[in-house]
Structure 1
Amino acid sequence: MIRSPLWVAVAMATGLTLSGCSNDDNRDSTTLPPEPAPEVQVFAENGLLDVRIRRTTFGVPHIEADSIESLAFGSGYAQAQDHLCLLADGIIKANSERAKYFGPHKSIDFATGLAKEEDNQNLISDFGYKALGVRQSAAELIGTLPDRSRAMLSGFAAGYNLYLADLASGAVTTPNLPCAGQPWVKPMADVDMLTYLFSIALLPGAANFMDLIFFANPGDGDEYLPRPAATASVPRQGQMMLAEIRAKAQARAATLATPEVNPREMGSNGWGLGSEVTDNGRGIVLGNPHFPHTGQLRFWQSHLTIPGHLNVMGGSLVGMPGAVNIGFNQNLAWTHTFSTAEHFIMYNLSLKEGDRLTYLFEGEERAITPKTLTVEVNIGGGVTIPLEKEVYLTAKGPMVEAPPALAPFPWDDTQAFFIQDANMNNVDVLEHWSAMNFASNLEEFQQAFKSFDGVIFNNTMYADDQGNAFYIDDSTVPNIGSEAENALRLSPELRAARDQAGFTILPGDEARFAFDGAVPYERAPKLVRRDFVQNSNNSYWITNPAEPIEHVSPLYGKRRVQQSLRTRMGLTLMSDARGDDDKFSPAEVESALLSNRAYLAELVLPQLLLQCQAQGTTPVVVSDSLSVNITPACAALAKWNGAQNQDSVAGALLREFGYRFDSDVHLDVPFVYTDPINTPNTLASDGAALVALAAASVTLTQNGFDLEAPLGQMQFVEKSLPNGQPSGVRFPWSGANNFEGGFNVFAYTNRPGDDTLLPQHAYEPAIDAVTGQPTRSELTTEGYHIDYGSSWMMVVGFGDQGPEGRGLLTYSEAYNAHSPHWADQTSYYSDNTALRPLLFTEEAIAAETLSDIRLQYQK
């Protein structure tokens, strides 16, 4: 093992070109073709992993190696430096070991390991991932992966493990790292990384059904409850915990409901601008993913280089081993948004009469197979006991069940349901993103999508130095046949079931509705333009309004439907945020992104203020028991400055009005699909908007907030300390929300913990003055406490010397509260509401290098 402060890169071999000489030398004058450039080295030579990691301003790692495996090795080490606890938690979750280390309940006090709420969530998660078979499949499939994927997995695991070893030996120190030395923070293998990636691939689909998988059973009693394994010796405290688990499981079963698999807040914005709309005729990409600021869907910035082969920078989800998810290289840039496409199908089975474990498929009998699973559960004092239960599987996915009174998924004498997820065992994830990273032009970038189906749930927007703009939704979508597609379009029953559930439910007894594999590239919605492509989480349909996309599988989402206020804001910015030359520069794209305009206000505020004037001091009747003089609210809104910035008076009032605004109710001119940007419009004159404004204003005042408070006094980021307590440092925040038609969006889930066990604090919810329930906006008694929204933001253009990028990671590079890069970019955004230069060239990196290490490890 070698570490040194400086590293001299090994020169890469280059192809030899032999040129012809003059005939005077009596030599052959034929010019030989150049030899092909050497292929990139995949595995480290002689098993010696060797990498250089330089950190620049804001802690960004620039990782350089001579092989894919060594590059992933450096990525694993650097990610562990910044996110050890988060990575370790993700691995134990995917491996169904949360209950083993933390007991059955997710809501724990991280400092003590004790449950704060008895919810069985760890137990349900552990059984769920075992039912989905992520670990078993990883073990079975890892030997079949291409060399590049295997190198990325093994290299990353080695880097992570080296950092653990360095912590244990004292070679590196990280003061007060809360998870250091904990038994659940342990070395990983490449199969652990593949297990983790398989679990992430299921997040938009089957992973939402953990409760329904846990509950599913052919009986009508409590057969679904876990029990001690036959060989287990259960001490008294274990018996008490088992009784508690069973009681909580029964209580939870009484509230099962259909999961919301694509919540309205989940989203992103992406632009790919082509030569016709840029000032220099080269492409520009705007990347603006709106993602959680905590948990396993957190972005991390890095710069990855294999000299002569790869030079890519951008943001990746924590745990991506040696590849960039949203970023750019020397010739092209790309970004993603959350697709409206569906990635799984729920099938309704017809059961054999008198047999709940046999279903019919084209008249033939097929088995529903019980499988006994075992999970270790920590009962305290270092003691674990094995609990087991049956889950029920078809050949294509697990059974799910919810009581008929709560959701329409019963398992009775005639019918039952199972989930088939197109992302199950998705082995293309690493190959797909790696191929995008290595691409040097549009053809090579498109080939990544032709060859692989690893872009799990994303739209893709692209632009390059040749001025091409490209869009594709080649997320992993079930490849149903044309008969099934037509039935989904035309059958009132199937359409009604889909609208009610929020996802597709198909008959499971006919072959015409079955699927194997994902929709191929040829049939995915896509578009190449020289002006622009864009997406803000509506469907593929008006990626570019001048060329609507039609005639694709209905599983990709709806067409000819009303667009969100955010999509309309984005398309408005696309038109009116250009410079005087009617072209975009990268600086103008950044200004558009961070303008914090609110489309709702631009659509209705002038009309709303006129209605205010007509209403005067006459109280607005909100309910039988509530009437409100809206004069103060109207006066406050009249002072709003046109954007949701820190100094925006009445920004919170506009937001609370936005959460009560309904285009179908409050606008007179309906949606017309031939004019999707401008319709619906025109505020209704029936007084309904004033009722919404009155309710918004009284909610704010009853919770102690000034109607004229600048938004920055109410909207803030406050990070959690390792023990889950608030840091006490609040960063005032600029930015809008989906419901007011913002583009640079932030939100407030106010739910501690997210998908990680690492604790997050939350404040008491503010109460809606009309409903008496917590506000829909998740306003707290302290204001809008941000934990979601714009995350890895970037604007990348191309000049004569290559890419010119600016970006920001709003929640900063490191998760460790004692790192200098825990809140530095957070503070930067709060102070500037601007992006920062992305250091891509050797000159820029050298000028701002904070640390420089070389790591070697012999496998």
Structure 2
Amino acid sequence: MKKTPLWIAMSLASGLLVSGCSNDDDRTDAVTPEPEPQVMVFAPDGKLDARIRRTTYGVPHIEADNIESLAFGSGYAQAQDHLCLLADGVIKANSERSKYFGPHKSIDFATGLPLQEDNQNLVNDFGYKALGIREAAATAMPTLGERSRAMLSGFAAGYNLYLADLASGAVTTPNLPCAGQPWVKPITDVDMLTYLFSMALLPGAANFLDLIFFANPGDGDEYLPRPAATALNTPASKAMLADVRTKALARSQTLTTPQVNPMDMGSNGWGLGAEVTENGKGMVLGNPHFPHTGQLRFWQSHLTIPGFLDVMGGSLVGMPGAVNIGFNQNLAWTHTFSTAEHFIMYNLALKQGDRLTYLFDEEEMAITPRTYSVEVNIGGGVTIPLEKEVYLTAKGPMVEAPPQLAPFGWDDNQAFFIQDANMANTDVLEHWSAMNFASNLEQFQQAFKDFDGVIFNNTMYADDQGNAFYIDDSTVPGLSSDAENAIWLSPDIRAARESAGFTILPGDDSMFAFDAPVAYDQAPKLVRQDFVQNSNNSYWITNPASPIENVSPLYGDRRVEQSLRTRMALTLMSDARGDDGKFSRQDVEAALMSNRAYLAELVLPQLLVQCEAQGTTPVVVSDSLSVDVSPACAALAKWNGAQNQDSVAGALLREFGYRFDTEAHLDVPFVYTDPLNTPNTLAADGSALVALAAASATLTGNGFALDAPLGSMQFVEKSMPDGSASGVRFPWAGANNREGGFNVFAYSNEANDDTLLPQHAYPAALDAVTGAPTASELTTEGYHVRYGSSWMMVVGFEEEGPQARGLLSYSESNNVMSPHWNDQTQYYSQNTALRPLLFTESAIAAETLSDRSIEFQK
């Protein structure tokens, strides 16, 4: 973490100000003005006080006189909307899931029984103990900056007050069934910091919990947990232990290499500058593609400390009193998931004959076993402690994969450990708070110079002065220049990186070691007066007119083919402007909601020509499958140019997209000097018709019409608290990454919904060629949306301040009893548009639904 002094965004440079001419040296009436007042951090005399007004769609406008009270209001309001998610996040981070729910993930609230018997809770609990986040939080708390301590303590107090109001009956609105259950309990500031530490590891070490659980120097089942000395020796405990052992052995046979930085975990972001906007002021498009369920869910709020802070936007649930993606009076910003790597896996050379000693610059270093214990619920209100060893180096936990995931084995010669740059990242709150308080580009940039808390994001910014700014200052390991050169040039390191999907470096040479993140001045960044943008490719062509080069390879690749979505984004940047060649806010919103698909714009006319030549002659897909593609071609000819609800053959285009390969199906290859237009030109060898034939057979084989409108197949349907289907389906517009969409959605969220809250799912549709579930995750009911565009906003600036529209596509509350469980979801389904964001006092007063003040004496 950066160690520069705490930056208070609202403070101004102080100095001696005098009136009159500079040569009036003998004046005696010169006055030194009072210093600019500073925002109050802690509540005076420990009395927390906040006002929460809710406007249409349930948006809370939270006002307080100090940072601690503002977080207090945020904690209360978030608990109103997301009590179960917050409570589950805290027990997960504290390694207590097994204590309340047994060893397996996902419970059925109706029966209390596990829905998946997979040891997931046990793996998580031991994994987070191995990562040491609770211990790190307790140690770090007294050393945090004042703002962080105030935000954590205030949020915990607000959350706890809501629990107390539930228990006393002061809150009369029904809540989710988790209310009153033993795992939904009061929290502390250390609990909240532990939760934030767990979130910071999501793009890195948290992907390796299974490999941490499995790691051990032996060759057998030594990694399995065992009863602690105090464990009850009862039939129930013996049965649970046998079950854990069976499931653990089975789980070890099905592990796969963790996928980090998945493309679906993405977003679009634009920062538009003076040269491309109608009024010469900046504009921001924010469009994060994130899970619609789980702990990576966004929540909208408006936070105000009169005279100091006025910020609105979306935050991840559990962010205590700060906005992650939003705007204030002078500036706006958004984030996208970065291609950067936030950890290094190190390959250790072991001392001969000793699997617990490795060599580092020819010196012997210890691998230290540490025994951890986890309480496991065996039913009937009884828990027993299980214990196991985890193995640690001075810089991170050991990892090991079963034999089928070689080469990550632990044998007589080598072993592996993970070092995560986001471990115990204490800058998260300070960094986002500094961005919230900033009032100009210099102050916004200073936040990145002072802190390293933007854990896995690119940042796009624009302001009322017409500046556009991009930076990827996510927390990236700061390697030596020699190590960076080796990553670029070493064939072995490059091959290992390509195979694994992340960087693996020698652990025996200090040249490859790191102790801190990359410094601000070495991070990829760009200031423009036209635009900056990102759609989850690397920093490289943030603006094609000014490619970014010469940064650490850990930030991602350069001079490589861009995704169809990035090409769509850059196309929209060019052709979605008004007749004057400039953007209005309406133009930007129209671009976001256009639902264009770059794949179709790239190849559909050529594909239809090939269709005409093919006629009714069957296309041979395999030895057992030939398809007359003429019905598919006729359906595609009716496609209306966008993936809207009324788009005929939208599903056919999607299934074709999942079988389309730019390398195999395009003749003109990628040229890095023309990344927007290459590769191109549909191959004339008939391979694209084979892909179309397979797509056609898959849809018809599962009972879907080729000319079905997309809205008849793509829908949102939420789950009830017990995991059953709500029965309320909303037809849904929007494209997909594989089609080269911009406003995109996806359909399975299992990998990104690490909560206990169950979600219903429909049977998978089967691929006509492979007989396996389709890559598109089509179900027997259609495309069940659970991922994609989430908190969306378009913000521009006028003389009177920000003008903003936005939408939280899955609505503000996760409480099925709330009127704001589905209202924005219904709005999107019916309008495919954003709504006004109420930022001014007059706008808030006109649409206030409730107005409540809360207080608490510490």
Which residue number in structure 2 is paired with residue 401 of structure 1?
400
Contact kept, 8 Å, 1:612 with 1:631, in 2: the verdict is: yes
Contact kept, 8 Å, 1:301 with 1:314, in 2: the verdict is: yes
Tell me the distance in 2 between the aligned counterparts of 1:579 and 1:131. 55
- Displacement of 1:35 after TM fit? 2.5
Tell me the distance in 2 between the aligned counterparts of 1:76 and 1:107. 25
Tell me the distance in 2 between the aligned counterparts of 1:463 and 1:562. 27
Which residue number in structure 1 is paired with residue 44 of structure 2?
45
Tell me the distance in 1 between the aligned counterparts of 2:375 and 2:267. 38
**Are 1:794 and 2:793 counterparts?**
yes
Contact kept, 8 Å, 1:258 with 1:407, in 2: the verdict is: no
Letter in 1 for 2:569: G
- Displacement of 1:131 after TM fit? 0.3
Tell me the distance in 2 between the aligned counterparts of 1:596 and 1:40. 43
Contact kept, 8 Å, 2:51 with 2:851, in 1: the verdict is: yes
- 3-state SS in 2 of match to 1:55: strand
Contact kept, 8 Å, 2:568 with 2:742, in 1: the verdict is: yes
CA 724–17 in structure 1, closer or farther in 2 if over 3 Å, else same = farther
Contact kept, 8 Å, 2:268 with 2:536, in 1: the verdict is: yes
Which residue number in structure 1 is paired with residue 837 of structure 2?
838
Which residue number in structure 1 is paired with residue 7 of structure 2?
none
Which residue number in structure 1 is paired with residue 451 of structure 2?
452
- Displacement of 1:175 after TM fit? 1.7
Runs of 4+ displaced beyond 4 Å: 15-22, 27-31
- Displacement of 1:36 after TM fit? 2.5
CA 422–765 in structure 1, closer or farther in 2 if over 3 Å, else same = same
Contact kept, 8 Å, 2:629 with 2:693, in 1: the verdict is: yes
Deviations 1:709-748 (A, max 9, x none): 0000000000101111000000000000000000000000
- Displacement of 1:184 after TM fit? 0.1
Paired residue total:
841
- Displacement of 1:248 after TM fit? 0.8
Deviations 1:210-256 (A, max 9, x none): 11000000000110000000122232111001001001101111222
Tell me the distance in 1 between the aligned counterparts of 2:481 and 2:15. 52
User: Share of identical aligned residues, percent?
Assistant: 80
Letter in 1 for 2:686: G
Unaligned stretches of 5+ residues in structure 2: 1-13
Contact kept, 8 Å, 2:421 with 2:517, in 1: the verdict is: yes
Which residue number in structure 1 is paired with residue 636 of structure 2?
637
- Displacement of 1:508 after TM fit? 0.1
Deviations 1:776-831 (A, max 9, x none): 00000000000000000000000010000000000000000110000000000000
Which residue number in structure 2 is paired with residue 11 of structure 1?
none
TM-score between both structures, scaled by the size of structure 1: 0.97
**Are 1:354 and 2:353 counterparts?**
yes
**Are 1:242 and 2:241 counterparts?**
yes
Deviations 1:73-101 (A, max 9, x none): 00000000000011000000000000000
Higher mean C-alpha displacement, 106-115 vs 453-462? 106-115
Higher mean C-alpha displacement, 40-49 vs 258-267? 258-267
Which residue number in structure 2 is paired with residue 412 of structure 1?
411
- 3-state SS in 1 of match to 2:90: helix
Which residue number in structure 2 is paired with residue 3 of structure 1?
none
Which residue number in structure 1 is paired with residue 502 of structure 2?
503
Which residue number in structure 2 is paired with residue 775 of structure 1?
774
Tell me the distance in 1 between the aligned counterparts of 2:795 and 2:110. 42
**Are 1:140 and 2:127 counterparts?**
no
Which residue number in structure 2 is paired with residue 330 of structure 1?
329
Within 5 A, what are the aligned runs for 1:52-63? 52-63=51-62
Tell me the distance in 2 between the aligned counterparts of 1:403 and 1:722. 36
**Are 1:851 and 2:850 counterparts?**
yes
- 3-state SS in 2 of match to 1:633: helix
CA 265–18 in structure 1, closer or farther in 2 if over 3 Å, else same = closer
Contact kept, 8 Å, 1:284 with 1:795, in 2: the verdict is: yes
Which residue number in structure 2 is paired with residue 660 of structure 1?
659
Tell me the distance in 2 between the aligned counterparts of 1:438 and 1:117. 44
Contact kept, 8 Å, 1:464 with 1:798, in 2: the verdict is: yes
Contact kept, 8 Å, 2:50 with 2:69, in 1: the verdict is: yes
Contact kept, 8 Å, 2:595 with 2:742, in 1: the verdict is: yes
Tell me the distance in 2 between the aligned counterparts of 1:705 and 1:818. 34
- Displacement of 1:171 after TM fit? 0.4
Contact kept, 8 Å, 1:292 with 1:789, in 2: the verdict is: yes
Tell me the distance in 1 between the aligned counterparts of 2:364 and 2:202. 32
Within 5 A, what are the aligned runs for 1:811-830? 811-830=810-829
Which residue number in structure 2 is paired with residue 593 of structure 1?
592
Which residue number in structure 2 is paired with residue 150 of structure 1?
149
Tell me the distance in 2 between the aligned counterparts of 1:449 and 1:348. 32
Contact kept, 8 Å, 2:747 with 2:783, in 1: the verdict is: yes
Within 5 A, what are the aligned runs for 1:59-458? 59-458=58-457
Contact kept, 8 Å, 1:753 with 1:759, in 2: the verdict is: no
Contact kept, 8 Å, 1:750 with 1:785, in 2: the verdict is: no
Letter in 2 for 1:648: S
Deviations 1:554-601 (A, max 9, x none): 000000000000000000000000000000011100000000000000
- Displacement of 1:404 after TM fit? 3.4
Contact kept, 8 Å, 2:311 with 2:436, in 1: the verdict is: yes
Cα-Cα RMSD: 1.5
Which residue number in structure 1 is paired with residue 514 of structure 2?
515
Which residue number in structure 1 is paired with residue 8 of structure 2?
none
- Displacement of 1:264 after TM fit? 2.3
Contact kept, 8 Å, 1:338 with 1:458, in 2: the verdict is: yes
Deviations 1:332-362 (A, max 9, x none): 0000000000000000000000000000001
Tell me the distance in 2 between the aligned counterparts of 1:551 and 1:774. 42
- Displacement of 1:297 after TM fit? 0.2
Contact kept, 8 Å, 2:314 with 2:326, in 1: the verdict is: yes
- Displacement of 1:29 after TM fit? 8.4
Tell me the distance in 1 between the aligned counterparts of 2:277 and 2:800. 17
- Displacement of 1:434 after TM fit? 0.1
Tell me the distance in 1 between the aligned counterparts of 2:110 and 2:789. 30
Higher mean C-alpha displacement, 101-110 vs 80-89? 101-110
Tell me the distance in 2 between the aligned counterparts of 1:732 and 1:228. 51
Tell me the distance in 2 between the aligned counterparts of 1:431 and 1:94. 21
- 3-state SS in 2 of match to 1:437: helix
Tell me the distance in 2 between the aligned counterparts of 1:379 and 1:35. 65
Tell me the distance in 1 between the aligned counterparts of 2:212 and 2:564. 36
CA 112–301 in structure 1, closer or farther in 2 if over 3 Å, else same = same
Contact kept, 8 Å, 2:263 with 2:536, in 1: the verdict is: no
Tell me the distance in 2 between the aligned counterparts of 1:294 and 1:17. 54
Contact kept, 8 Å, 1:216 with 1:399, in 2: the verdict is: yes
Deviations 1:586-617 (A, max 9, x none): 11000000000000000000000000000000
Letter in 1 for 2:400: E
Tell me the distance in 2 between the aligned counterparts of 1:21 and 1:708. 79
Contact kept, 8 Å, 2:106 with 2:757, in 1: the verdict is: no
Contact kept, 8 Å, 1:432 with 1:454, in 2: the verdict is: yes
- Displacement of 1:265 after TM fit? 1.4
TM-score between both structures, scaled by the size of structure 2: 0.97
- Displacement of 1:475 after TM fit? 0.1
CA 31–706 in structure 1, closer or farther in 2 if over 3 Å, else same = farther
Letter in 2 for 1:817: V
- Displacement of 1:18 after TM fit? 11
Unaligned stretches of 5+ residues in structure 1: 1-14
**Are 1:725 and 2:732 counterparts?**
no
Tell me the distance in 2 between the aligned counterparts of 1:810 and 1:420. 36
Higher mean C-alpha displacement, 399-408 vs 147-156? 399-408
Tell me the distance in 2 between the aligned counterparts of 1:515 and 1:857. 44
- 3-state SS in 2 of match to 1:397: coil
- Displacement of 1:760 after TM fit? 0.7
Which residue number in structure 1 is paired with residue 583 of structure 2?
584
- 3-state SS in 2 of match to 1:436: helix
Letter in 2 for 1:614: A
Tell me the distance in 2 between the aligned counterparts of 1:94 and 1:251. 25
Which residue number in structure 1 is paired with residue 474 of structure 2?
475
Contact kept, 8 Å, 1:750 with 1:763, in 2: the verdict is: no
Letter in 1 for 2:201: L
- 3-state SS in 2 of match to 1:219: coil
Tell me the distance in 2 between the aligned counterparts of 1:131 and 1:193. 19
